[in-house]
């Protein structure tokens, strides 16, 4: 998984690891080129040290639909028994230790994604725990500083997207990302409507969610050029060879963005060095946790690229992503789901204020929030 810098944080013994899966309504449903989310699933991780301290983490489980329960059970039945009762000298160690300890299981089950996601959630909870023990905001514990982080509204659906864009602009967001991949005419009409609503200077991005082939992407580039996109995200399959990404990047009039589906430090390093991407987007609850994404974030910024954390889940992971971005620095933006999302607000109380395009983080220890599990429990749907 790799290491990460830390300031003022020390070791601890893991006394308990708990994971709970939740599902709340998605109203309206969240649409992508590959499927529709009719509810919002989430897996919350809590790590305790036996001295009255705790930390919160979150595990990616948007897809497939039954993924939340599976990942929660991975934590409860496999990972928690391995790590409970062990001493670690630094919050970066538990995730790396679990990764090595479960390598055979990952190969045997052929489930690198679910294991990486579950371990990422535990890593994030350990960093939150260590930062709270030290009385430090996570950004400071990572060697950075608490600062406002620029935020953009994401997950904008293809049905009258200009309405949501206008609403999000009124709320103070500084960028807007549309879901595309629903057919040429619909995509172009939606981008035109959003540009007309937002004006020529607004930051407008498009996310194809791997919908197109290389040939289809090349055909779309002239159509997209007139909208002055800040970036085009995952137009082709994430496992497309880097040489093809480089060729596409050279032809594109806007920057290419990817990273949410990369799953190792070496894969990120190769992507950063390739010259194909202007924006790189690790997801701290999908791979690497705080440890891996902070290290990759620094590498991204050092290479002169934008580190823009990918995130479309609940409030715990969102706050961890915000603190990583604050610590790493650079010109990147925080992705914030523009849809109604109880997992976002109920899992991050008090939810940070947004003003003039920036989230204002506080000096509270760790990720600076606590989940309101009672309200979330009242809103949940059966898994």
Q: Give the domain CATH number at 229.
A: 3.20.20.120
Residues 34 and 72 in one domain: yes
What is the three-class DSSP state of 350?
Answer: coil
Out of 140, 164, 191, pick the residue that ends a domain: 140
Q: What does the pLDDT average to over 66-91?
A: 97
Residues 188 and 309 in one domain: yes
Residues 98 and 150 in one domain: no
Q: What does the DSSP assignment read for 9-20? A: ---EE--EEEEE
- 319-361 pLDDT tens trace: 999 999 999 999 999 999 999 889 999 999 999 989 999 999 9
Contact status, residue 31 vs residue 179, Cβ threshold 8 Å? yes
Q: Is the pLDDT of residue 242 over 60?
A: yes
Residues 103 and 190 in one domain: no
The pLDDT of residue 6 is 65
Residues 284 and 369 in one domain: yes
- 272-291 pLDDT tens trace: 999 999 999 999 999 999 99
Q: Is the pLDDT of residue 2 over 60?
A: no
Name the least confident of 117-131, 305-319, 368-382: 368-382
Q: What does the pLDDT average to over 53-65?
A: 93
Contact status, residue 7 vs residue 142, Cβ threshold 8 Å? yes
Contact status, residue 378 vs residue 372, Cβ threshold 8 Å? no
Q: How many CB atoms lie within 10 A of CB 299?
A: 19
Measured distance CA(99)–CA(354) in Å, rounded: 36
Residues 159 and 135 in one domain: no
- Decide if 4 is inside a domain: no
Residues 299 and 347 in one domain: yes
Q: Which domain holds residue 105?
A: 12-140
Residues 256 and 362 in one domain: yes
- 138-159 pLDDT tens trace: 999 999 999 999 999 999 999 9
Residues 193 and 89 in one domain: no
- Number of domains present in the structure of the chain: 2
Residues 29 and 41 in one domain: yes
Q: Is the pLDDT of residue 34 over 90?
A: no
Question: What residues are annotated to the active site?
Answer: 179, 310
Residues 96 and 150 in one domain: no
Out of 140, 170, 194, pick the residue that ends a domain: 140
What are the structure tokens assigned to 182, written together?
């629903």
Residues 47 and 21 in one domain: yes
pLDDT averaged over every residue in the chain: 95
Q: Residue 231's beta-bridge partner residues?
A: 205
- Decide if 309 is inside a domain: yes
Q: Give the domain CATH number at 64.
A: 3.30.390.10
Out of 125, 140, 155, pick the residue that ends a domain: 140
The pLDDT of residue 382 is 66
CA distances to 77, 296, 350, 375 from 120, rounded to whole Å, are 16, 14, 24, 25
């Amino acid at each position: 998984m790799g290491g990460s810098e830390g300031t003022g944080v020390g070791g601890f013994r893991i006394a308990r690891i708990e994971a709970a899966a939740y599902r709340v309504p998605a109203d309206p449903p969240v649409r992508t080129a590959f499927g529709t989310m009719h509810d919002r699933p989430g897996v919350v991780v809590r790590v305790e040290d036996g001295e009255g301290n705790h930390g919160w983490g979150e595990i990616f489980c948007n897809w497939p639909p039954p993924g939340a329960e599976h990942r929660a059970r991975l934590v409860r039945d496999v990972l928690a028994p391995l790590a409970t009762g062990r001493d670690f000298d630094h919050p970066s160690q538990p995730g790396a230790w679990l990764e090595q300890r479960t390598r055979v299981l990952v190969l045997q089950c052929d489930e690198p994604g679910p294991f990486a996601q579950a371990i990422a959630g535990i890593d994030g909870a350990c960093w939150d725990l260590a930062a709270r023990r030290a009385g430090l905001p996570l950004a400071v514990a990572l060697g950075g500083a608490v600062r406002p982080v620029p935020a953009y509204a994401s997950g904008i659906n293809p049905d009258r997207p200009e309405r949501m864009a206008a609403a999000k602009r009124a709320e103070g967001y500084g960028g807007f990302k549309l879901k595309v991949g629903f057919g040429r005419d619909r995509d172009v009409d939606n981008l035109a409507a959003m540009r007309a609503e937002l004006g020529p200077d607004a930051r407008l991005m498009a996310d194809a969610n791997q919908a197109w082939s290389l040939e289809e992407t090349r055909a779309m580039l002239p159509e997209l050029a007139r909208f002055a996109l800040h970036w085009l995200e995952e137009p082709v399959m994430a496992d497309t060879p880097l040489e093809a990404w480089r060729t596409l990047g050279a032809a594109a009039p806007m920057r290419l963005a990817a990273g949410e589906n990369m799953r190792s430090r070496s894969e990120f390093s190769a992507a950063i060095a390739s010259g194909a991407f202007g924006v790189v987007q690790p997801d701290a609850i999908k791979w690497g946790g705080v440890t891996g994404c902070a290290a990759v974030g620094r590498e991204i910024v050092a290479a002169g690229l934008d580190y823009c954390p990918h995130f479309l889940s609940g409030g715990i992971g969102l706050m961890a992503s915000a603190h990583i971005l604050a610590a790493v620095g650079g010109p990147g933006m925080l992705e914030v789901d523009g849809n109604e999302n109880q997992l976002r607000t109920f899992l991050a109380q008090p939810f940070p204020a947004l003003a003039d395009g920036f989230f204002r983080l506080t000096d509270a220890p760790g990720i600076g929030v606590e989940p309101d599990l009672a309200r979330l429990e009242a809103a949940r749907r059966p898994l």
